[in-house]
């Protein structure tokens, strides 16, 4: 399903970061499809965010298939997001506690379907990115630890924070939430990445899933 069709049928919240870029790109050029162009754009955007550099038209025009108009469209979209939500303010965002993480995740409170998101942080606890990695039915998100590992590794994470919502409104972690959290924690440890927290988001509150492993 193409991103535009997915957007119309399921809403913008189910789109990944790369699918949002694909919508902005719109179409490809001879020999290079819009998906390839979007992947290159995302690479440049992530590098700028990681290095705390300003993303401008010059950085994007160097990509094959990106002209001045498309570059302006992408930069304008990111600037609008910065102004409205403040996520990419010049001030570096450091997340050192669960409450700070919840302030980023709290837009998941009103979702009708369960979704799993991940915040990636560098070794200084600085925000790298937020990715949606799983979308479930009305009461269950299907999540493989492999998805968490892959997203954490490609974003050069030192620490990660996981979150998912309970459409029922009750933020109490289920037994499945606890077991999955322990599996993910152990998997990340093998590659040197630390799971700081797993937050369950209800209607008006949130709770952390206990990470400790049974002896």
- Distance between CA 118 and CA 20 in Å, rounded? 17
* pLDDT, the chain, mean: 85
User: What are 156-212's pLDDT values in tens digits?
Assistant: 899 999 999 999 999 999 998 999 999 999 999 999 999 999 999 998 899 999 876
Are 98 and 208 within 8 A, CB to CB?
A: yes
The closest alpha carbon to 165, from 142, 139, 183, 146, belongs to 139
Torsions phi, psi for 47 (to 5 deg): -65, -40
pLDDT value, residue 161: 96
- Distance between CA 80 and CA 72 in Å, rounded? 12
User: What are 80-91's pLDDT values in tens digits?
Assistant: 776 665 555 556
pLDDT value, residue 162: 95
Task: Tell me which long-range contacts 7-13 makes (C-beta under 8 A, separation of at least 24).
Answer: 13/111, 13/115, 13/132
pLDDT value, residue 56: 84
Are 22 and 38 within 8 A, CB to CB?
A: yes
CA geometry: angle at 127 spanning 12 and 11, to 5°?
5
pLDDT value, residue 215: 38
Q: Which residues make Cβ contacts (< 8 Å) with residue 109, sequence separation at least 6? A: 165, 201, 202, 203, 204
pLDDT cut 90: percent of the chain above it: 31
Task: Note the residue count of the chain.
Answer: 215
pLDDT value, residue 30: 77
User: What are 9-46's pLDDT values in tens digits?
Assistant: 878 777 777 888 888 888 878 778 888 888 898 888 88
Query: Does pLDDT of 73 surpass 90?
Result: no
Torsion of CA 88, 41, 36, 63, to 10 degrees: 180
pLDDT cut 70: percent of the chain above it: 91
User: What are 124-159's pLDDT values in tens digits?
Assistant: 898 888 998 888 765 556 788 899 999 999 888 999
- Buried b or exposed e, range 121-154, using 16+ CB within 10 angstroms: bbeebbbbbbbbbbbbeeeebebeeebbbebbee
pLDDT value, residue 213: 54
């Amino acid at each position: 399903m193409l991103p535009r069709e997915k957007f119309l049928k399921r809403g913008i919240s189910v789109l990944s970061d790369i699918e949002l870029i694909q919508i902005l790109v719109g179409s490809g050029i001879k020999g290079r499809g819009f998906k390839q162009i979007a992947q290159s754009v995302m690479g440049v955007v992530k590098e700028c965010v990681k290095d705390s550099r300003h993303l401008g038209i010059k950085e994007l025009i160097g990509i094959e298939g990106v002209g001045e108009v498309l570059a302006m469209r992408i930069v304008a979209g990111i600037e609008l997001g910065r102004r409205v939500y403040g996520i990419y303010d010049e001030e570096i965002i450091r997340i050192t506690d669960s409450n700070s993480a919840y302030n980023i995740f709290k837009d998941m409170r009103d979702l009708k379907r369960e979704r799993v998101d991940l915040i990636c942080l560098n070794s200084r606890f600085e925000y790298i990115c937020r990715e949606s990695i799983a979308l479930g039915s009305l009461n269950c998100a299907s999540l493989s630890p492999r998805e968490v590992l892959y997203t954490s590794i490609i974003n050069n994470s030192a620490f990660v924070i996981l979150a998912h919502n309970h459409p029922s409104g009750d933020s109490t972690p289920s037994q499945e939430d606890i077991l999955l959290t322990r599996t993910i924690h152990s998997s990340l440890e093998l590659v040197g990445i630390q799971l700081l927290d797993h937050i369950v988001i209800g209607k008006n509150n949130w709770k952390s899933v206990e990470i400790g492993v049974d002896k």
